[in-house]
Structure 1
Amino acid sequence: MPISLHLLHLAPSCVSCTRLAHRPGFRLANVSSAGHKEPAASHALYLHPREPSNMRIIQVNKYHFLKGGAERYYLDLSALQKDRGLQVQHLVMQHPRNLELTPEDQTVSEVDYRGALSPWQKLQHGFKVIYNPETARAATRLAQGPRPAVAHLHNIYHQLSPSLVHVFAKSGIPMVQTLHDYKLICPGYLLMTQGAVCERCKTKHYFHAFRHRCILGSGPASLVGSVEGYVHEWWKTYSLIDRFLCPSRFMLEKVAEFGVPRHKLIHLPYLLPVEQYEPANFPPDPACVYVGRLSREKGLPTLFRAMSLLPPSCKLTLRVLGEGPIEEELRTFARKQCPDRIEFLGYQSGTALHDAIRRAAFAVLPSEWYENYPFGILEPFALGRPVVGAAIGGIPELVVNGETGRLFESGNPYALAEALEWMTSPQADPERMGRNARAFVTETCDPQRHLAQLDEIYAGLHP
């Protein structure tokens, strides 16, 4: 089937999406004059689905199990591409939790940088962060397979290393990388230092990572991260990658601001198989839910403080789903300040996770770092639940006041408490906002449209 590109006028397919279309950061699918929905793409390109080609896709990510949002996207994308008849191979790290792999896939030895390591092992692993020879050999074996081929990179840093980039480039295999975090421009991934947003490395002064101990709070680890940044800048490693796929417009603008060429950047929101998320058909409890890692950059101390500020007349409770490094600190605060408002439910997944979100009236994401395009919002949306979100990073592209949830000033517990209380008021109407949220994510994250756009991106890398 020949590639067909069309420029179309904005014509959202439902009333709620019409309102969202006029808000900054929103880009909705369009409808052709014949009434057929067309997918939204970067630079106003709207792409017809292509028939599956004979192209081989090399999917590269350090983890091959559901660890976080990056893995959810990587695994969903790989499965959907296989379902369409594409040949998909994987390059991943060995891990006991890995999902099933095939003999055609390649693995490298497991590395646990948080484990107990001898000084010699730390030195060895430090070098592997910069260039892992085992990864390079595995990439070489994959590069020798049939053509045409494209390598789709995800989180490759540290355990795999960018050594594979040079192998694929030398072999003539084009590469795209989905940017799940800010590692491309920040040695510490988060653009955050000591609890605050940080952009000190904007001028490629990576020594700041060591100076401020940005990686695991460790001097040696941060030194390795600084050296890694300088080495790959010297080697021009990331200039060898053909396209960078940015799930949020915020991500695209931020990496462009740091000097990544704009012609290499494409806005492509995550896909989400919404049909796998059944919305609730029963009234919710007077509760909100947080789903995610219990870490400082997620704004959990601010959320807990906000819960303690709610007046007695507000009966809202908080259910916390997840684990993380500040869990004990949070439990101590909850016991002392608001023992009857906060419940810890631990890590949840699958049906149990969906049920917990459905039972709550809304979800909350109080992040204090530049969130990209968080599944902590996408999944509640798919389940028909609105979200109270911090106005930071890519969150405002998803959460619109009064339409799909409520925004508040990031890091401000008083503003968050006000938003939480508003969500329990009659004028909020969380059921209506939940329907809007599901309609939005159904349009924006449609898997078939996403795959069609990827087909066009892959095909554009082969003259």
Structure 2
Amino acid sequence: MPTLLAINNYHYRRGGADVVYLEQSRLLREQGWHVADFAMQHPSNEASDYGDHFAEEIEFGHGYGALTKARHAAKIIYSFESAAKLRRLIEKVKPDVVHAHNVYHHLSPSVLKAAHDCGVPVVLTAHDLKLLCPAYSMLSHGQVCEDCNSRGRKALLEKRCMKGSLALSGLIYLESSLHDALGLYRKHVDRVISPSRFLMNKFSEWQWDGAPLAHVPNFADVGALRPQYQPGQHFVYFGRLSREKGLLTLVDAVAKAGVELWMIGTGPLEAELQQRVAETGANVRFCGFQKGEALWQLVRDSRAIVLASECYENAPLTIIEAYACGKPAIGAAIGGIPELIRPGETGAVFESGNSDDLARVLREYARMDDADVADQGRMARAWAEQDFTVERHVSRLLQVYRDIGVKLDSGEATREMEYAA
């Protein structure tokens, strides 16, 4: 069976990209692949047989000394340590393919060059907009921004896009300029995977001249998530509590619509959200961090989930997971969200940042017959079963590997054909 070397900054479930990285590895192991891991050392990491090869931890916000901070700044731009350790791991496991996920700011794209120089085919999943936008989110001071496309990287410095800091923006400007000059992302990757068609369109608009793109949607373990179609009376948001998620707009809309919202998660905006709830009188319950069956039951008990993002979301897992639980999704019409919602069938969309428009949709769903909400939940679940299962994901992923020359044995090829069917 083939050997995969999977690379990601974190080896634990910190965010959506990390979940995809770990789940892809699990799925391929279940198919009989040998999978090796390469990540950054971290106390929260899951167990790995290859942890001794991991790169030194870099965690922003820690109280490092001046010398350590300077050394980390250099590694952010280009980590010779990560590259050297990866080469040694490649010599040990002799992978047939390297699949990288989020590597910037920690491992650095030096790992892409190291793998390419070793003659191993390299796939990179673009979980966000970093390959186009130095600030990775196309957000500047809370507003969507694409100035680097029209004005070049200097816009990053002029606008101080990184937390309003000239020093931090300067570091990221230096990083992106060097990476562009060396072609680290363009020359050393054989295929870029995009989880959304929105992102593929952005690559085209920004005249990407690197590796070809392949569309491989995100997925959920649909078979493991039990659906519950009978709708509850409240709405649910689950995810990180941060400004770009449009949660202040969501609270305002909840107050205007007179509905109930359960907010699941933690994050830097939590205190401000609680203050906004107090000011508006919105009926919001803060449920804190939840995981596993406790999380899924909270989702099942809802009427619909809401994603009010005010940034270019790529392919949010929360919508797919909600569908698997038999729930419609109400999403902002921004980024890759609209392509995951079929209005009137699996949910609804509204104008991003517009609390009045969101309140209108919330009122519609609050007044909608339970049977109609349940029907949307069934259609959402059916879509998840058709397009977003682990089987469909593995089939698409293996096709990408095959396209760049990875040899699959006859048994693997047979399973892939079964998945595609």
TM-score category, normalised to shorter length: over 0.9
Partner of 2:106: 159
Give, in angstroms, the shift of residue 452 of structure 1.
Answer: 2.1
Partner of 1:49: none
The 8 Å contact of residues 55 and 147 in structure 1, kept in 2 or not, is answered as: no
Matched, 1:445 2:392: no
Give, in angstroms, the shift of residue 449 of structure 1.
Answer: 2.5
The 8 Å contact of residues 231 and 374 in structure 2, kept in 1 or not, is answered as: no
Partner of 2:214: 266
- Give distance in 1, aligned partners of 2:210 and 2:381: 31
Question: 1:101-159 deviations in whole A, cap 9, x for unaligned?
Answer: 00477311111112223333322211111111210111111221455611101000111
Partner of 2:60: 113
Give, in angstroms, the shift of residue 180 of structure 1.
Answer: 0.5
Change in 2 beyond 3 A, CA 1:188/1:263: closer
- Give distance in 1, aligned partners of 2:91 and 2:151: 35
Q: Among 243, 247, 251, which residue is 1:304 paired with?
A: 251
Give, in angstroms, the shift of residue 204 of structure 1.
Answer: 7.3
In structure 2, the residue corresponding to 1:309 is in which secondary structure?
helix
Gaps of at least 5 residues in structure 2 are 407-421
Give, in angstroms, the shift of residue 378 of structure 1.
Answer: 1.1
Partner of 2:87: 140
Q: Among 247, 267, 288, which residue is 1:346 paired with?
A: 288
Gaps of at least 5 residues in structure 1 are 1-53
Letter in 2 for 1:84: Q
Give, in angstroms, the shift of residue 84 of structure 1.
Answer: 0.8
Q: Among 181, 190, 196, which residue is 2:143 paired with?
A: 196
Question: 1:56-102 deviations in whole A, cap 9, x for unaligned?
Answer: 11100011111111111111110010111101111111111111100
Letter in 1 for 2:340: L
Question: 1:365-384 deviations in whole A, cap 9, x for unaligned?
Answer: 00011111101211111100
Q: Map of 1:97-112 to 2, 5 A cutoff?
A: 97-103=44-50, 106-112=53-59
Q: Among 265, 273, 292, which residue is 1:322 paired with?
A: 265
- Give distance in 2, aligned partners of 1:292 and 1:252: 24
Q: Map of 1:76-115 to 2, 5 A cutoff?
A: 76-103=23-50, 106-115=53-62
Partner of 2:368: 426
In structure 2, the residue corresponding to 1:108 is in which secondary structure?
coil
Partner of 1:412: 354
Q: Map of 1:275-294 to 2, 5 A cutoff?
A: 275-280=223-228, 283-294=230-241
Q: CA RMSD in A?
A: 1.7
The 8 Å contact of residues 89 and 104 in structure 1, kept in 2 or not, is answered as: no
Partner of 2:176: 229
Partner of 2:404: 461
In structure 1, the residue corresponding to 2:201 is in which secondary structure?
helix
- Give distance in 2, aligned partners of 1:218 and 1:247: 31
Matched, 1:361 2:303: yes
User: 264-273 or 198-207: which moved more?
Assistant: 198-207
Change in 2 beyond 3 A, CA 1:344/1:72: same
- Give distance in 2, aligned partners of 1:309 and 1:441: 32
- Give distance in 2, aligned partners of 1:407 and 1:113: 35
Partner of 1:386: 328
Change in 2 beyond 3 A, CA 1:263/1:223: closer
Give, in angstroms, the shift of residue 271 of structure 1.
Answer: 2.4
User: 220-229 or 111-120: which moved more?
Assistant: 111-120
Q: Among 379, 383, 387, which residue is 1:436 paired with?
A: 379
The 8 Å contact of residues 179 and 244 in structure 1, kept in 2 or not, is answered as: yes
Letter in 1 for 2:217: P
The 8 Å contact of residues 5 and 95 in structure 2, kept in 1 or not, is answered as: no
Letter in 2 for 1:454: L
Partner of 2:319: 377
Partner of 1:21: none
Letter in 2 for 1:212: K
The 8 Å contact of residues 231 and 373 in structure 2, kept in 1 or not, is answered as: no
Matched, 1:250 2:198: yes
In structure 1, the residue corresponding to 2:288 is in which secondary structure?
coil
The 8 Å contact of residues 11 and 18 in structure 2, kept in 1 or not, is answered as: yes
The 8 Å contact of residues 59 and 151 in structure 1, kept in 2 or not, is answered as: yes
Structure 1 runs of 4+ with >4 Å offset:
none
Partner of 1:34: none
In structure 2, the residue corresponding to 1:266 is in which secondary structure?
strand
Question: 1:172-200 deviations in whole A, cap 9, x for unaligned?
Answer: 11111111101111111111111111001
The 8 Å contact of residues 380 and 386 in structure 1, kept in 2 or not, is answered as: yes
Give, in angstroms, the shift of residue 447 of structure 1.
Answer: 1.5
Give, in angstroms, the shift of residue 427 of structure 1.
Answer: 5.6
Partner of 1:333: 276
User: 212-221 or 174-183: which moved more?
Assistant: 212-221
Equivalenced residue count is: 404
In structure 2, the residue corresponding to 1:151 is in which secondary structure?
strand
- Give distance in 2, aligned partners of 1:185 and 1:287: 38
Letter in 2 for 1:452: S
The 8 Å contact of residues 37 and 50 in structure 2, kept in 1 or not, is answered as: no
